[in-house]
Structure 1
Amino acid sequence: MTTDSAGVVQRAGASVPKTYEGEDMYQLPKVNREYEKQFASLYTHRLMKLRPRVLAMASAKWTNETINGEKVVRLSKILDIAHQQPCYMVGTVYCDMQFKPNVLKDVSENMYGAPPIVEGNPLDATNRNLRQTSYSNPATDQIALEDESGRVLLSGDIIDNTVFVTGCVFGVLGLELESGVFEVVDVVYPEIAPQVPRSLDHVVPSKIALVSGMSINSSDLDLVKLEILKEYLTGELGNDETRAASAQISKLIIAGDSIQVSQSLIGKDYAANSKSKYKKNHRTNYNAEAVNILDSFLCDVLQSLPVDIMPGENDPAELSLPQQPLHVAFFPKSRQFINTESRHFRPLTNPARLEIDGLHLLGTSGQNINDIFRYVLPNAAASTGTTPTDDDHVESRIGLIEANMYWQNIVPTAPDTLWCYPYQDEDPFTLYETPHVYFVGNMPRFETQETVLHQKSGKEVKVRVIAVPNFSATGEIVLLDTASLACETVKIVG
């Protein structure tokens, strides 16, 4: 904490470079976006980029491995599998799950007025609930590995106890015990991308405030809680100790869902059809009064504190990832602070890469993790390899956030079950650099941990992963120390 000559507490500052690598990684061209392209190129590019990194880890681990006394061999193609020959190979995971969105079914039911497809057996209450919350049915799920040559089903205890989602690139070790089924005894992930070394010599310790899910809704808004949050951030709340603590905040990052869609706009069938990418339930997320309230809130905070804001699922932005920055027209009061020199107010993409005081951050507004969670329910125990409590089955996301770092891809399920732009020559969701901090907004509760990853050489790469809680549900914001990367929460009670 510093004070001026008059004894007034001064706010901590944060240094944001005018430009930094990866800043525009998720920016799409403003014109000539080509949505008619197929998505196969995205999967192909992902496999091509990650395959050498997986093979580097697989070769280091399995080159001298034996199974049943027989030395394993490396296969360049899945189609080369020989019966009962120990081997390892690399491919892209595909999950065949009963309750995943089905384009043919959705189109036939919705666009052409065809009667709903009748299930083989009537769904009981449990399955009807799973249909709304999960893609998975453990009784029928099948996990496969595929490459350019073909596909093979995967089985084994490790498959049952490891999170697999469509789009991840893995290496698997085992052998084919029956035709078309590969018994897996071990898996490897891609080699960890390099991490930029960080020096703390010239860094003045400060805190970055992370908030998500403010859910401003003009028809049902807790203005008291929002006002208290604003006063805390601007240093106008509490005693000297509280004001001194808030003065340590050098930056506010809003990780999506600042706006809550009015229930009257959603419709009664939205919950049941929320997984569908093809039905007509998608609606406008624009609420003029709520956007005006958000603009006034930002304008007041920006008088004292730099702000970065990311769009989220419920904000007035496109549905597909990467979501583009919220338009400046939404912020008639706040846009005066948009300045390329000071970078005081920045509408960002979702996902977004940031650099603050030499700290490299990567963040999303939560759609990627919430979609992955639908793959593991009701198998939530697999998310961390342990047996969680009942609350963990519903609330915990930290294992899935950490898994993004192991997979070296933050949105593997796009475009299979999550909208995304049809990239042709790149996959920006695959990591070329491992961040120091990876945060995900709009999670059910606050969680954090230091994840320690290992490169092929054995070098440790440490990442602080953070589940940022939904503010409207929990009243909590997260404070990240820029020096130690320790996290704490502040609860706002309206």
Structure 2
Amino acid sequence: MAANDLLAPPTEAELNLCLSPGPGAAKPSATLLSRRSCEHTPTWQRFNVRGRRFDQQFSHLYSKRYAQMKGATWAAARARWANSGARAVERIVQLKEGERTFCCGVLYKQMKLRQSVIDEYQRELAISGAVYPLEDYTSSEDALDIEDDSGRMRLAGDVAALPVHLLATGLTAAVLGVMGADGEFVVEDWCVPGVPPPLENTNGAVAPKAEPEGDEGPYLLLASGLGFGGATDPMPAAMLVDFVAGRLGGAADRSDVGANICRVILAGNSMAPLQDGERLRDKNLPAADQERIAGPLYQLDAMLAQLASACPVDVMPGADDASSVAMPQQPFHRSLLPTACRYSSLQRPPNPYEALVEGRLVLGSSGQPVTDLLKFTRPAAPKPKGENDDGDDEGNATEAEGAAAADFTLSALERMLGWRHMAPTAPDTLPCYPFYNEDPFVLEHCPQVFFAGNQKAFGQRLIDAPGGGKCLLLSVPKFDETREAVLVNLRTLEASTLSFHADLLC
């Protein structure tokens, strides 16, 4: 055979022989699936902090919060008490004793069990006994104050008129009642601004596009708490990647669900918390320790590279991730994910997250605002001292307890919408950047999907929004504990879970 013949391209018959399956091999599928695309417009820019300064006071943040929400709160108050005969008082300092009035301000909750900054220093310096954080700081002795730019006063009233256990520091609210001789304002009723209007009332329609009858999706996949570097089995996370990439599941799973996943959102805690975080304070770390600490990042980078090669991905930072502690958490630095950042399909949003996905406004966090709020509020009024039930064992939570935990999360999200604020306890108990010009956590528009990541269990609730719209509230569970991701149909606003258990492969 001549040398030129060896360099000649293969014939069609030779190609068919090489590509044909061997004896006993399954025939390749004749259907080639294409991933469904969707429009994606980031609107999270207000959570990106530019020119960070930490020499300003948090009082500016509360002042801006009240200024941004004052108009909506007064409008709700005047509409609610238009026929009450009470007089509206613009400033707290102008209230008169014995007169039935209503006013607006920012609430502050006095809590006996709440930790102080001094407790943290005492624990760090070991100058007192250990102070352990609680899951619930509420008690029957909690009290509320309300303040504006003119002054502060104590609120009083029974639970029916003033449910202290449901309210938290940082809310903008209006109260109706009478100022007593002791300076306390006896509350008869209260109100908050209410769910904000949808985005379409402000800058054009964002209704979902019409889909052919029977068409699946498009789907949005949400997962949180992957926990790379922890003690959990990494196989479920690998199964999640394979499912999105179309390498796992039957033909119907790949065509009806997998191919219709248009975007994946990883809602924080993709890395497990460091077991020896104190070592990071050391000026010099041995090479072995550096490699061990950086190991979870290498694993996360490799997984994100696989995922981004198959589907658009938004990876948010969380409480356990390599990002800032203060809210809003800033995006992962690209040097932490060098391989994954080579893909243009990978985006690194801040925490909280906000974007228009296929005409739906999607808003959510990695869970810190909800978790913090649940520590300082309680769905039911707390029992008097000595009558509190014993705490639940989270490690042995039953199915009923999981459903209750999801319900608490959904109720917290619903209250946040009514308060028009997604992080009301910041900066009081939730670390937060000291914003000077605005409060970015104020909700100007009602989202169609509002989620909280890293929760104990999955839950969903569809509520009414102004203008006849709907809002889907989502409790996204911790993946490393539940092995569950959440699938949202952006057309119908229905959610379901996808379970990835390694024992299913056996």
Decide whether aligned partners of structure 1 residues 108 and 264 sit closer, same or farther in structure 2, where only a CA change above 3 A counts: closer
Structure 1 equivalent of residue 142 of structure 2: 141
C-alpha contact 2:40 2:357 (8 A) present in aligned 1: yes
**1:332 matched to 2:331:** no
C-alpha contact 2:165 2:379 (8 A) present in aligned 1: no
* Cα deviation digits, residues 112-136 of structure 1 (max 9, x gap): x65469xxxxxxxxxx88x522222
Decide whether aligned partners of structure 1 residues 391 and 306 sit closer, same or farther in structure 2, where only a CA change above 3 A counts: closer
Structure 2 equivalent of residue 309 of structure 1: 315
C-alpha contact 1:261 1:287 (8 A) present in aligned 2: no
Structure 1 equivalent of residue 366 of structure 2: 365
Q: Trace 1:19-38 onto structure 2 (pairs within 5 A).
A: 22-29=43-50, 32-38=51-57
Measure how far apart 1:461 and its partner are.
Answer: 4.6
Decide whether aligned partners of structure 1 residues 115 and 236 sit closer, same or farther in structure 2, where only a CA change above 3 A counts: closer
Structure 1 equivalent of residue 219 of structure 2: 207
Q: Trace 1:243-262 onto structure 2 (pairs within 5 A).
A: 243-244=254-255, 245-262=257-274
Bigger drift between 474-483 and 229-238 goes to: 229-238
Decide whether aligned partners of structure 1 residues 40 and 161 sit closer, same or farther in structure 2, where only a CA change above 3 A counts: closer
Structure 2 equivalent of residue 416 of structure 1: 428
Structure 2 equivalent of residue 173 of structure 1: 176
Structure 2 equivalent of residue 223 of structure 1: 234
Structure 2 equivalent of residue 432 of structure 1: 444
The residue matched to 1:143 in structure 2 has which SS?
strand
* 1:169 alignment partner AA: T
Decide whether aligned partners of structure 1 residues 27 and 292 sit closer, same or farther in structure 2, where only a CA change above 3 A counts: same
The residue matched to 1:92 in structure 2 has which SS?
strand
* 2:46 alignment partner AA: M
Decide whether aligned partners of structure 1 residues 305 and 238 sit closer, same or farther in structure 2, where only a CA change above 3 A counts: same
Separation (CA, whole Å) in 2 of partners of 1:382 and 1:229: 41
C-alpha contact 1:56 1:191 (8 A) present in aligned 2: no
Separation (CA, whole Å) in 2 of partners of 1:12 and 1:55: 45
TM-score (norm 2): 0.80
Measure how far apart 1:77 and its partner are.
Answer: 1.5
* Cα deviation digits, residues 80-110 of structure 1 (max 9, x gap): 2223321111010101112323124433564
Structure 1 equivalent of residue 418 of structure 2: 406
**1:45 matched to 2:64:** yes
Which runs of 5 or more residues in structure 1 are unaligned? 66-70, 118-127, 268-283, 339-343, 384-388
Identity %: 27
TM-score (norm 1): 0.82
C-alpha contact 2:162 2:190 (8 A) present in aligned 1: no
C-alpha contact 2:196 2:418 (8 A) present in aligned 1: no
Structure 1 equivalent of residue 392 of structure 2: none
The residue matched to 2:65 in structure 1 has which SS?
helix
Separation (CA, whole Å) in 2 of partners of 1:392 and 1:239: 30
Structure 1 equivalent of residue 21 of structure 2: none
* 1:484 alignment partner AA: T
* 2:367 alignment partner AA: G
Structure 2 equivalent of residue 278 of structure 1: none
Structure 2 equivalent of residue 125 of structure 1: none
* Cα deviation digits, residues 273-309 of structure 1 (max 9, x gap): xxxxxxxxxxx9x931111111111111122111001
Decide whether aligned partners of structure 1 residues 247 and 178 sit closer, same or farther in structure 2, where only a CA change above 3 A counts: farther
Measure how far apart 1:464 and its partner are.
Answer: 1.3
Q: Trace 1:30-429 onto structure 2 (pairs within 5 A).
A: 32-65=51-84, 71-107=85-121, 110=124, 114-115=127-128, 131-138=133-140, 140-155=141-156, 156-157=158-159, 158-160=161-163, 163-177=166-180, 179-195=182-198, 196=200, 197-201=205-209, 205-217=217-229, 220-244=231-255, 245-265=257-277, 287-338=293-344, 344-376=345-377, 379-381=378-380, 394=405, 396-429=408-441
C-alpha contact 1:84 1:177 (8 A) present in aligned 2: yes
* 1:243 alignment partner AA: R
C-alpha contact 2:105 2:174 (8 A) present in aligned 1: yes
Separation (CA, whole Å) in 2 of partners of 1:434 and 1:63: 26
Measure how far apart 1:391 and its partner are.
Answer: 5.9
The residue matched to 2:474 in structure 1 has which SS?
strand
RMSD over equivalenced CA pairs, Å: 2.5
Aligned residues: 433
**1:484 matched to 2:492:** yes
* Cα deviation digits, residues 122-163 of structure 1 (max 9, x gap): xxxxxx88x52222222x211111112222222322323762
Separation (CA, whole Å) in 2 of partners of 1:38 and 1:436: 34
C-alpha contact 1:172 1:187 (8 A) present in aligned 2: yes
Decide whether aligned partners of structure 1 residues 410 and 232 sit closer, same or farther in structure 2, where only a CA change above 3 A counts: same
* Cα deviation digits, residues 209-261 of structure 1 (max 9, x gap): 000011111x5241221221111111111221222221121110000000001
The residue matched to 1:10 in structure 2 has which SS?
coil
* Cα deviation digits, residues 179-216 of structure 1 (max 9, x gap): 23222222221154331232334568310000001111
* 2:498 alignment partner AA: V
* 1:467 alignment partner AA: S
Separation (CA, whole Å) in 2 of partners of 1:7 and 1:263: 47
* 1:468 alignment partner AA: V
Decide whether aligned partners of structure 1 residues 486 and 368 sit closer, same or farther in structure 2, where only a CA change above 3 A counts: same
The residue matched to 2:63 in structure 1 has which SS?
helix
* Cα deviation digits, residues 34-65 of structure 1 (max 9, x gap): 11110000000111111111111111111221
The residue matched to 1:9 in structure 2 has which SS?
coil
C-alpha contact 1:372 1:400 (8 A) present in aligned 2: yes
Separation (CA, whole Å) in 2 of partners of 1:27 and 1:198: 24
C-alpha contact 2:365 2:453 (8 A) present in aligned 1: yes
C-alpha contact 1:212 1:470 (8 A) present in aligned 2: yes
Separation (CA, whole Å) in 1 of partners of 2:416 and 2:494: 20
Which runs of 5 or more residues in structure 2 are unaligned? 1-28, 280-289, 383-399
Structure 1 equivalent of residue 457 of structure 2: 445
The residue matched to 1:287 in structure 2 has which SS?
helix
C-alpha contact 2:403 2:457 (8 A) present in aligned 1: no
Decide whether aligned partners of structure 1 residues 72 and 354 sit closer, same or farther in structure 2, where only a CA change above 3 A counts: same
C-alpha contact 2:138 2:165 (8 A) present in aligned 1: no
C-alpha contact 2:194 2:419 (8 A) present in aligned 1: no
